Structure 1
Amino acid sequence: MEEKINSVLITGASSGIGKALVEVFANNAYHVIGISRREKNLIDLKKSLGENEKYFDYLVADISERNQIEEICDNISSKYFVHCLINNAGISSFKSAIDDTIDEIEKIIKTNLFAPIYLIKKFLPEMILKKDGTIINILSVVNKKIFTNSSIYSASKTGLESFSKVLREEHRNDNIKIINVFPGATATEIWPSKALEKYSSKMMDSKSVANIIFQAFEQKGNLSVEELVIRPITGDL
């Protein structure tokens, strides 16, 4: 039987922090699988890696759809061992709780909470079997501070944080590292264009955030960065 390829799986890989994470891992010779809905962006990203494009494969999928998650997981598991899962994909509405529609609420919860849990449930058993694995959840400073117009986003991110904390305690003896990352304002496409125009100079850039996350991942020995809060020097917006 052909040995599986050790890989880093990154959701929301076509832009923002996800794209920057693909770049830093691939440029350090880690094999990366990127997932996104936007195929053109993934194709462009692969080309931009130059000689390191050999370290990057991608799958096009909408992870808010459970059937698509199951399909891509079966595809991945047949060939790759996901020794690092990075749950990065996330969406928000920037609306007050009263104005969020049920459809918007469901989409946010499915993308930000259900999908990461499904992916963890799929790939964790093999990590346990091999006594080797890292799960990195890209959360948000909304987990640390209350922001208006982000109720469902906050609920989804806080839910994933709580799930991961319990999971960490349940698998202390399985050599599984679970890193919860709480980035502050970062200049990515999740923000409305008007907000980027107004505040981008105060925001962090994705590459800098990705580099810090990569450093946390690379920590060796009997230690793990369990929580990583990253904010602009000037603080929250």
Structure 2
Amino acid sequence: MKTILITGAGTGLGKELALAYAKKGHTIILTGRRETPLKEVQELIRQNGGHAEVYTLDLTKQESVQKTVDTITDAHSVSYLINNAGAGCFGPLSDLAIEDIDLAVQTNVLGTIYLTKALLPHLLEQTEPKIMNIISTAGQKGKINESVYVASKFAVRGFTESLQKELEGRVTVTATYMGGMDTPFWDETDHIKDKSRLKSPQQVADTIIKHDTQLEINV
């Protein structure tokens, strides 16, 4: 069994991945900006007989990331990193607030890079280490009113594909492209008009886990 660190584990896909992997017997390191939803997921896992630990983490601050990673790896042998946390940024470019642009790029791109870099030396010491980056179909093609979000996901795609080559034979790196999911993103925007056609986070999580030995997963 592995110890799996999941970012954005308090809600949505991160929560469902945590619950599903815990049911398989893995130890889950739940991370996110807000402690309360992480604690709620931890309690659900414990009620089902699983094991999970909670660490708050601000991916946009490199020093915070490094400090938290040091704390986690002092107590746990993490062999699987799932970079799931993300920030949305939707609408015409001319209407986007600079604060929203910064948050999307800092969380989606820099946060993924910061955490992967901080944890990588530890991962390389483990048996069969893995990294999975949740990229979304926004990393595959341009979309109307998603220019900044798409740009951030294209960056994560390039980062992932490069790591696949750089770490080949040492760390398994998986790129996951999921689209059409009912995520908390949509609670604060009218970008998606009809959420009924979207897949649930649980459906997406089940598909990801079913195929997580692959280097590329399309959900």
- Normalising by structure 2, what TM-score? 0.92
**Cα separation, 2, equivalents of 1:196 and 1:22:** 27
Contact kept in structure 2, 1:32 and 1:57, CA below 8 Å: yes
**Cα separation, 2, equivalents of 1:58 and 1:144:** 32
Contact kept in structure 2, 1:7 and 1:82, CA below 8 Å: yes
**Cα separation, 1, equivalents of 2:191 and 2:18:** 23
Question: Cα offset for 1:131?
Answer: 5.0
Aligned to 1:57: 53
Q: Describe the superposition over 1:123-180 as per-residue Cα deviations: whole angstroms up to 9, x where unpaired.
A: 2223333352111111111122321111111111110110111111112121x11111
Residue 192 (structure 1) aligned with residue 187 (structure 2): yes
Aligned to 1:204: 199
Residue 214 (structure 1) aligned with residue 209 (structure 2): yes
Aligned to 2:215: 226
Aligned to 1:119: 115
Name the aligned partner's letter for residue 211 of structure 2.
A
Does 144-153 or 53-62 show the bigger shift? 53-62
Structure of greater Rg: 1
**Cα separation, 1, equivalents of 2:159 and 2:13:** 22
Q: State which of 93, 100, 115 in structure 1 corresponds to 2:96.
A: 100
SS at structure 2 position matched to 1:45: helix
Q: CA RMSD of the aligned region, Å?
A: 2.0
Aligned to 1:48: 44
Residue 79 (structure 1) aligned with residue 75 (structure 2): yes
SS at structure 2 position matched to 1:184: coil
Residue 21 (structure 1) aligned with residue 10 (structure 2): no
- Structure 2 CA distance for partners of 1:53 and 1:102, relative to 1, 3 Å: farther
5 Å-filtered alignment, 1:137-216, equals 137-174=133-170, 176-192=171-187, 195=190, 198-216=193-211
Q: Describe the superposition over 1:88-116 as per-residue Cα deviations: whole angstroms up to 9, x where unpaired.
A: 00111212222223322221111001111
**Cα separation, 1, equivalents of 2:84 and 2:107:** 10
Does 108-117 or 56-65 show the bigger shift? 56-65
Does 165-174 or 83-92 show the bigger shift? 165-174
Question: Cα offset for 1:196?
Answer: 8.8
The alignment of Structure 1 onto Structure 2 pairs a total of residues equal to 219
- Structure 2 CA distance for partners of 1:26 and 1:74, relative to 1, 3 Å: same
Percent identical residues: 28
**Cα separation, 2, equivalents of 1:33 and 1:44:** 13
SS at structure 2 position matched to 1:12: coil
Does 18-27 or 93-102 show the bigger shift? 93-102
Q: State which of 33, 40, 50 in structure 2 corresponds to 1:37.
A: 33
